[in-house]
Structure formats: C-alpha cells, structure tokens
Amino acid sequence: YIKAISAYLIALIARWRDVIFPNETKDIGSKLRALASSTMPTAIETLCSQEWIQLLMSTTIKETLVCISTSAAISDNRHSVMLARGPGAMDARLSAQQAVQRTRAETFKKFVEVWEGEYVNISMSSKWLAALSKEASRRTLSIAAQGENRNRSEQAWEKYMRDLQAAKCLMVKVKDEGESTRLGINSFESGRRRRYRLSRTATVHKPRLTHMAPVDKNAIEIKLPVREQVDISDDEDDEILLTPQKSVNKEELNEVMAATAALAVAANLGEVKKSNHECAATMVTPLELFAGKFAISDSEMTFTTIDASRAWVWPLETLHQVQSRRYLLRRSALELFMLDRQTYFIDFGSAEQRRQVFRVLIKLRPKNFIPLYLETSKPEALLRKSDITSRWIRREISNFDYLMALNTLAGRSYQDITQYPVFPWVITDYTSETLDLNDPAVYRDLRKPIGALNPTRLERIKERYEFFDDPEIPKFHYGSHYSSSGTVLYYLLRIDPFTTLAYELQGGKFDHADRLFHSVASTWKSCYNDMSDVKELIPEFFYLPEMFKNVNNIDFGVNQKGEKVHDAVLPPWAKSPEDFVEKQREALESEFVSKNLHHWVDLIFGYKQRGKAAESACNVFYYMTYEGAVDVEGIKDPLLLKATQDQIACFGQTPSQLLTVPHPGRQRAADSITGSHWLFDNDNGVSNYALPVPNYGENRASFMNVLPTGQLVVVSPTLEMKIHRFVPNLPGSSGVPFTFDAAKEQSTLGSLMGSIRRKAGFHDVAESIKFAAKLDPKLLSSGMTLPCAAIPNGRFLIVAGHADNSLKVYNNETGAVENAKIGHRAPVVALELSNDGRVLATGSADGTVGIWLVKLPAEKVTIGENVRETIAPIIRINENNIFNDGSTVADVIETAADIATNVFTKATLQGPISLCKGHGEAISSLALNTNLDLLLAVSPFAGASFYSIMKGQLFTKIPSLAGSLCAISDEGFVIIWNERTWTIKVASINGDIITSMSLIEKCPKLTTMTVSSDGYRLAAGTEEVNGQVAVIAFDLPSLNVRQRWDFESQSDITQLVLTADNTNLLAAAYDGSIRLFNDPSISARSFNQMLQAGWTNVV
C-alpha cells in the first residue's frame, strides 16, 4: 500500500500547507504537485527525511487521516479540521454514507477489475481522478473509505512511519540518525544464505510470547540503559491552533479524496479472496511468537494474528520453496522461502495440519514455486537426492556453503533461535600476537566434539557418564547443548533483535556483565575447560563483523575486573572485527579444515550423532535434545506439555540426522579442477599465453567476455564483433592447455568441440560482424571500455553509448537490431548484466540508474555455468540445490512490476522497470550482484550509491566512496578505485570502509577490475607505462597483493575476465591482443575427469 499512502500524505500536506509552513513566502503548491507525480523512490526518499518525518507525525496530519478514512464524527474542539476540508464537506460525507448503503459487493468487484485492468501506465494522481470520474467507482470508494475504525487507522499510520524510517535508515549510523531506532540484522538473506545487511528497527518493549521464559511484566516499562532517546511521535504541533486554509483548491481536494479512497481500496482488496484452506498456526520469529490464523486463497497466503493487530500477505507467485521443519521436536512446521529472499517459519501444531497445507500448495501450483521434495521426505532422504555433498567433495562449493546447506536440510533456521544454524570452532589460538594458518597446531581437532577436546575435562565427563544411574533418564555426557537459544543470544547480544530479547528475558535488564559475551578468548577458554559449557559457533562468526561491535552504544555494565563491556575483545592477532572475521573464514576454508570437516559433520549431522558411535565418540547429550525421545503430541496435561516445551526450548535441539554412515572426505585442492587457488595461490605454476588473434582490419578490443557456450566475444570501439571459439583447460591441437579457434579460422564441425557444440545445439560463427550504430563520440576515445553486455546464450549483444541515448539489442548471427529502447535523457555510459542474463543495469551521463529485464526467445538448450554444464543432462543431473544465487531476482522484479509473462520471438528489453535518481553526477562505473540484491553506482565526485535491485530503491549514498571503477564480491564487499586519489578501497555493503590503500608508486592506474566467484580475490588490470602493463591480484578484504603478472603491451588493459571455474584469467588490451593466465598442469587432469564423467557419450 506504500504507493497510495505516500501520495495521500503528499496530498494532505498540500492541503494543510498554510498551517504546516506558516512562514513560507513562496507558493509551494507546484513543488508538492511535482513530488506527488514523481517516482515512488524519489517520493519516499523525501518523505523519509528528518524534516518531513516530524511533519508527517504532526497531530494535524494524523487527525485528518483518521477523519477522512473513518468518516467519523469529529469533536467540537477539532471541528476546524472538518471545516478546513472545504465548502460542502459535511454534505459530501453524508452523501458518501448513503452511497455505502446502496452499493453491493458486485459493484466493488467491478471496480477492482477496472482499477487493476484499465488504469495502467498512468500516474497515480491521474489514476485516482479517473476512478473518481465514474459514479460506480465513487460509490465503491466511499464504501472502502469508511472500512477502518479510528484505532486501527492510527496504528496503521504509526507502523507506516516506522517502516518508512527503517527502510530509509539502512546503513546509516546511530550518530547520524538519532537513537529512536536501533541497528539490527535485516532478515533479507543473500543467495548463499548470509544475512549481511543491517537495518534500523523501532525499539518497542512490550509483553510478548517468546520461545523462552515469560516476560516479567514488572519490567515492561523499564527502558534500555542507552543515551536519551527522542520519540518523534511526541510532536510540539499539538499547541498549534488550526485555521481554515484561506482558499480551497478543488484539484487538491479531489486528490486528497482520491488518495484516501485508493488507500482504502488497497486495504479492502482482500475481501474478494476465496480461501482454499484456513487453520490455526503460530509464526515463529527470533524475537516473538505470533499466534493467529493461516489462510490460503487462489492467489495469496495470509497470516493474521489473533487480535488482528498484524497481518502478513504473500502473493502465491512470490513463493519459491517450502521446506519441512520441526518445532520443539515436533514435525509440525513449514519454512516458506520467498522470491525476495525472506523466510517465514510457520508452526501448524501437528504433522497432519502441516501435511494439509502442503497439499493445498502443491494443488495450486504457484507460478514460481519449486517443490524440492515431497513433504513426507525425511531430511536424510533429501540429502541423498541432492548433489550437494558431491559438489563439496569436488570443491565446487565452499566449506561455509556446505555447512549452511547441511544446516538447512537438517531443519536449522534463522527464524527459530531454539534450532539456529550451528558451525564449529576451528581456531584454538586466541592469545598470540600473530596467527599462522599454515600451522596445524592452531586448529581445533574436528574429530572430537567440543566437550572432548580437553583431556582432563573428558576424563571427568567419562567418569560421570559411567556412574550415572537413573531409571527414567538415559545416560548422557553433557547436560548442556552445543546449540541453544541461550547460545544465540550470548553471541548476538550486541545487535537487534537479540539485544531486545536478551534484555526482556532478564526482566528489563541485561544479565550480569561477567556472564555476557565480552571476549573471544575467554569464551573459548570457557568452552574448552568448563564442564557445563560446550557451545559451538554460529554462522555470523564467519561473515558478520558487526556482531562484535556495540553498534547501538548500549550500556552492558562493568564486570568484576572493572572492565566496561562494550565491543567484544578480539585476539591480539586481529586488527579489527573485519580482520577477525576474515581470518576466521580463511581458517574455515583452509586445507586443514577441508581435510577434517567431514569428521565434525559425522558428530553433528551424521552417524556419530546417536547410538553406539555417539557413545564411543563421547557425543551423547541430554535425552530431551533428540527428536523422538519424547512424544510431545501424546502429552495431554497442559501444564506438563508447557513445562516440556520450555525445557526443549531452553536445553537446545540436536539437528535432524542426515547420515547413518561415515561421511566421505573432501578431495585435496591439488586434485581439484576448479577454483581460484589455481591462479592466485599458485606462486610458480601460472603461465601466460598470447592468444593467436589474427590481424583483422579492426583489431582493437573495447569489450570482451567469455560465455558459457564456449565462445569468446570481442567488440571493437567501432562495434565490429568477433566470436572466437574458446574452451579453457581443454588441450588444443598446438599443445597449449586450451582450445582457441579465431573467428575466421575455425575448424570443421568434425573436431571434438564441433561435435560437442553440435549436440548441444550451437552453431559456429565463421566471420566477424559489424553492427550499424552511431555512438557518442566521447566513448570512442582511446582506452574507453565500451558499455556492452553479451547474453550468456551467445546469440545477442546489448550495446549502449548511442548518441540517441538508446539501448540496442543486436543479433550476433545477422547483425540486425532485435530491440531498441530509450530510458535515459543522456547517453548510457555504463552497463552491467546479471550472471543469468535476465537483469540489466544502466548508468547514464545524466546521473540516473535504470533497471531492466531482458526477455529472450525460447531456447532449445538450457545453458549451464560452463561447457560441461551445457551438456549436464548427459553428464549428471544437478538437482535440489538449496541455494538461490540471484536466480529469482528477475522474477521478483517481474512480479512487482506486474509484467505479463509473454512468449517472445525476439530479444526484448523491458523497462526501465525502475529509474533511480539522486546520484548527482554522471555514472562512471556500475556493479551488479543479484546474489546480494545490490546495484552499485560510482562517480569521481558524487561518491557511491547503493541500490536494491528488486525494489529499485536507494539504500544509501556514501560520498567518501567516490571513484571511477567499482566491483562487488559475493562475500559482501564492495571495491572502489578512485583515479583522482590513486586509492583503492574495500567497504562492506553496510557502508563501513574496511580497507583503504594508496597505490601511488606501487602500480600504474587501474583500468578494469573483476572479482573471483569465491569472493575473496580481486584481479585488476593497469594502463600501459613504458610498454608494460600489469595484472595484479589482491586478497579481499585486506587488499594484500597475492600475485602480480607484468608483461609487454603497447596499450592499456581494457577488460579482465575469469572463466566460470575461476581457473583461467583473460586480459584484453585496447590494441586487440589477448593474454591468458592459467596453470597448464590442470588441463590434462580436467580433460581426463570430464571423459570419466561422461563426455565420451557426447563425442
């Protein structure tokens, strides 16, 4: 409803401008009307400023909102509000009430059809006025307008303002925005299930139903011990005497009425929904449990709390996946995974009710719903069906991703802190000044549970286990658990919503400072020595440095040593929280951990979790932590049931068992055929080769890309394109560790690759193609990278930079223009395409950023990430990958923009779906990452602007991150090169600068950058100096130089491209030369493994 209510607020302010702006000398009516007709991101940006927030929370606006939306009687002392609405307002209200009685439900349905069908592609104001022009619409609007009572209207208004603030305050620090809200973890997940983002949330302390102990009602009114807060809802406008506006603008009055009606219509659309299934349910969140009703109609799912104070509505087309979950050891819950990366945990109370809900969803077949498994499948069966383990063994995914996948399959959820994802301690040295990750002594023994690491403690545990004798309680080694709600609150104390929950559970105060998470070293010491402390880690330890910072400046007290508990005390070898997290993650991905991680998996998710193997491994926990140990559904006594559930919630829950046999180990890095380590961690093995590019008439290279189809696309500044055949790590006829056939010298289809390509449905391109276009002369200057994007299927090329400000899609086979669109008022100077080729971002010289959808003709062949996956149906079936690497972003945009899913016969650009303004300078560089839902635009003076791709909205703008080149890492880093200051910076997606390095006298100017797929390596190319250029590889986020390759060239490097498997790096120079970097030793191994995997079936 944000569109309707935002414009309604604008209309209200226009109506009351004489009261709100008593000292304004200029007429602001035109400015307000311009704001009303602007795009939603611009309007919301303005409404969220501090000035307008105070304005909108004024009593004047609030009471006017209530009066209009409820058509309620107004008290005498506020009668001027009604009078100020203009002549005849009272009569109009009475007429509206009579119209309400005359209108029937059929009229309402008819209006909805018109509203959703006829009023398209026009401004909101025009839409409202068009609706008012029809008598039936006016009557229906009046019905809707009286639908809400005063209290609900006020509640909705307050919530809307809080939501506006939270949306706008992303990445803004406390000191800049005040203390009425606090920084917390945003529930948005990246495609790899990380929650990097922080957002502001309102701090509201109230009685609430939680997973754990009841709230102490006597402590409800106690406030957090933070600096004095400012409640923006307490306005000083109460004392202003309202006076009628001097003149009544009929147009503005109509807009107010129309906006009110439109808002009410939006709120009442749900009245015509038919329910297919309704049941009682509980929504589980980290902070609170919401009891209510879950319903499914033909078009949406809804959850409404019992008191109707809150409601969630999810269109069915936004549902992506559903996975079964336990709740308090009962298989009674589902977790909904939405296209926009939000997840919702719903408990239905019983397995049968959950089964019914799932059946209804399967029957309805939502558009984007992917049922990864049948609801009756057990977690261990899901793991067997998936290929996630084999991918980990082959090193196609990281250790972190594999652990996250196992946690997800085993029922662990970010939403339920009683069964939060669990990760291992991997480092044991938290006291040394330096940390050598090549030394095995710094690592924890992953073959043993955390409680068995200390030999002295283990002997005491064994002794207690042997002598334990209870007729009802089975023996156990540990009375506490390695993962519980208390563990989660302990680690995430410094960030909301966990700060609020920890505060409320202690009755309006925090626990004693000595029991809080104060020091990493002391926490490890406790876990190693204490008989009752065996907690493992949580995922955030490996990606969220903010969890170690007191970002909200909360007073946690002073411990017995007189130390103030503030930021977490880090080991001496960690320079900062970011450095600590970087080393933690490096240790997790180390060769030592890779070689031993499967032993820890056996303990937590595998065959050593239960039975004799668990006893032998000293890995037995209290019986109530295991699924099936207690028949919860069979307990009829409500008091006993509550006590049992409380005990389960507090003690912790063992994950669902995924394996009953030993887990296989991971192959060595030296035996793998993928990964950036072949390039960046390979000191002496990397060779470079000059590709034999013929001397064409136009040899310059302004754009280059390697496609999954085995094609190397090169485009010159004059739009002459060559498509060479290039297959990395496949030995060529000349003995080089790659196959390369230039565009005019391609071998026959009888060759090996010709056979593969023919069976995959591809055709060879024999000649170069010249595209007809008139480009902006500024883009033709020497060394400029042409704004181009090659569609992954190899059939189309998107070219920007045209003098007429257009974007054009060219057919690579015919050279014809398939589609042309204009979305900016100046030439497009930057272009970025998502990895799946479905989302396009454009940056213009006018400072605007556009987001587009790319629609392609139906393909006969599904293109994979590389040539091997192009023929995936022959080699293997890649199924049940639980990750969502940006593949749903285009679906979210399409759904939000209400774009019809037509079948296209030509490549088509749709959009701009969103046109983002406010950057303030011509765009120098763009970077797009659908995995993180992040679009980054930079300029030399205006700084960096962060946008949400799915919402088309500005997150934040950071002037200190000015630059001329930018890139985004999948691990949540943004990299910006500033040519003016010769500085390269790395920042988090929350806007914190992590590393800044001056490259003066260290290397020439950087001309291009690319990031490895693992997110921890940056490759940069330089300009030509004295006949030399360089390719430099940096570690992220530290910017330590990992590799540097210098070679001769007569022109700047214009493009760097990593192949999909990250084993090959190509560097194109402006003069058309292309150089390849790789380790030749993997070529033969790669070819042999592909043959063994099934390539012989193709050739």
* Short-list 871, 870, 877, 821, CA closest to 850: 821
Write the DSSP symbol of residue 512.
Answer: P
As a whole number of angstroms, the distance between CA 917 and CA 979 comes to: 24
pLDDT tens-digit series, residues 252-283: 444 444 444 444 444 444 334 567 899 999 99
- pLDDT of 67 > 90? The answer is no
Cβ(550)–Cβ(175) under 8 Å? Answer: no
How many Cβ atoms are within 10 Å of 501's Cβ, its own excluded?
A: 24
* Phi–psi pair at 202, nearest 5 degrees: -70, 140
Give me the residue label for tokens 């087309």: 317
Q: Which of 12, 8, 46 is nearest to 141 (CA)?
A: 8
Please answer whether residues 922 and 830 qualify as being in contact, where contact means their C-beta atoms are separated by less than 8 angstroms: no
Q: Please compute, for residue 50, the number of CA atoms within 13 A of its CA located in the half-sphere on the CB side.
A: 8
Statement: residue 639 has pLDDT above 90: no
Residue 996: pLDDT band (50, 70, 90) is very high
DSSP 114: H
A 10 A CB-CB count for 839 gives 26
Sheet holding 1065-1069, edge to edge: 687-690, 1074-1078, 1065-1069, 1053-1058
Per-residue pLDDT band for 680 (boundaries 50, 70, 90) equals very high
Confidence label for 904 from pLDDT (cuts 50, 70 and 90): confident
Alpha-carbon gap, residue 543 to 720, rounded angstroms: 44
What is the residue whose two structure tokens read 């099936």? 628
What's the rounded mean pLDDT across residues 783-806? 87
- Over residues 533-545, the mean pLDDT reads 96
Is the separation of the CB atoms in 499 and 554 below 8 Å?
A: yes
C-alpha closest to that of 828 among 923, 718, 944: 923
pLDDT of residue 353 exceeding 60: yes
> DSSP letters of 589-649?
TSHHHHHHHHHHHHHHTSGGGSHHHHHHTT--B-GGGSTTSS-GGG---HHHHHHHHHHHH
228 vs 901: which has the higher pLDDT = 901
**Cis bond leading into 87, ω under 30°?**
no
Q: Check whether 235 has a pLDDT greater than 90.
A: no
Total Cβ atoms within 10 A of residue 895 = 19
Mean pLDDT of 376-381: 74
Residue 378: closest CA among 337, 331, 343: 331
Q: What is the pLDDT of residue 93?
A: 41
pLDDT > 80? residue 952: yes
Instruction: Give residue 73's pLDDT.
Output: 37
- Where does the pLDDT of residue 504 fall: very low under 50, low under 70, confident under 90, or very high at 90 and above? confident
* β-strand partners of 336: 322, 344
Rounded alpha-carbon distances, angstroms, from residue 862 to 320, 707, 855, 902: 20, 13, 15, 19
Contact 350, 335 (CB under 8 A): no
pLDDT score of 978 more than 90: yes
- Least confident segment among 290-299, 344-353, 862-871: 862-871
Contacts of 691 (CB under 8 A, 6+ apart): 724, 726, 740, 1066, 1073, 1074, 1075, 1076
pLDDT of residue 107: 53
What local confidence, expressed as pLDDT, does residue 20 receive?
A: 57
The pLDDT score that the predictor gives to residue 175 is 30
Contacts of 951 (CB under 8 A, 6+ apart): 896, 914
Nearest to 547 by CA among 423, 653, 656: 423
Whether residue 599 contacts residue 609, with contact meaning beta carbons closer than 8 Å, is answered with no
Angstrom distance (rounded) from CA 743 to CA 395: 34
Confidence band for 236, pLDDT divided at 50, 70 and 90: very low
Tell me if residue 869 falls in helix, strand or coil. Answer: helix
Q: Are 707 and 790 a contacting pair, CB within 8 Å?
A: yes
Q: Are 1065 and 679 in contact (CB under 8 A)?
A: yes
Give the SS3 label for residue 800.
Answer: coil
According to DSSP, residue 545 is labeled G
Mean pLDDT across the chain: 78
- pLDDT value at residue 623: 92
- The arithmetic mean of pLDDT across residues 703-722, rounded, is 89
- At which residue do the structure tokens 């635009």 appear? 937
The string of pLDDT tens digits covering residues 648-672 is: 888 899 999 999 999 999 999 988 8
CA atoms within 13 A on the CB side of 347: 19
Residue 113 has pLDDT above 80, yes or no: no
| C-alpha torsion 815→820→822→826, nearest 10 | 10
Q: How far apart are CA 961 and CA 1089, in angstroms?
A: 45
User: What residues contact residue 94 under an 8 Å CB cut-off, 6+ apart?
Assistant: none
Q: 212 pLDDT exceeds 70?
A: no
What is the model's pLDDT at position 173? Answer: 29
**Residue closest to 747 by CA, chosen among 761, 730, 734, 766:** 766
pLDDT tens digits along 928-945: 999 999 999 999 999 999
DSSP for residue 221: T
Q: Are 723 and 743 in contact (CB under 8 A)?
A: yes
* pLDDT of 1024 strictly over 90: yes
Three-class SS state of 916 = strand
Q: Higher-confidence residue: 149 or 335?
A: 335
H-helix or E-strand containing 756?
A: helix 752-760
Element (H, E) at 655: none
Give the list of residues 6+ apart from residue 808 with CB closer than 8 angstroms, or none.
773, 798, 799, 800, 802, 817, 819, 820
Inform me whether the pLDDT recorded for 638 exceeds 50.
yes
pLDDT of residue 1010: 96
88 versus 239: which is more confidently predicted?
Answer: 88
pLDDT at 84 over 60: no
Higher pLDDT: 339 or 31? It is 339
User: Is the alpha carbon torsion for 564, 569, 575, 579 positive or negative?
Assistant: negative
Using a pLDDT cut of 70, give the percent of the chain over it.
69
Question: 697 pLDDT band (50/70/90 cuts)?
Answer: confident
Residue 209: CB atoms within 10 Å = 11
Is 886 in contact with 832 (CB distance < 8 Å)?
no
What is the reported pLDDT for 14?
Answer: 61
Mention every residue, 6+ apart, whose C-beta is less than 8 A from residue 184: 198, 199, 200, 201, 495, 496, 497, 499
Rounded (5°) CA angle 529-531-534: 80
- The pLDDT of residue 817 is 92
Per-residue pLDDT band for 785 (boundaries 50, 70, 90) equals confident
> Who has greater pLDDT, 759 or 388?
388
Residues above pLDDT 90, as percent of the chain: 46
Distance CA 1099, CA 759 (A): 9
Between residues 591 and 105, the one the model is more confident about: 591
Closest CA to 519 of 476, 559, 462: 559
pLDDT of residue 78: 34
Residue 645 confidence class, pLDDT cut points 50, 70, 90: confident
pLDDT of residue 840: 95
Residue 407 has pLDDT above 90, yes or no: yes
Cα 900 to Cα 880: distance, rounded to the nearest angstrom:
28
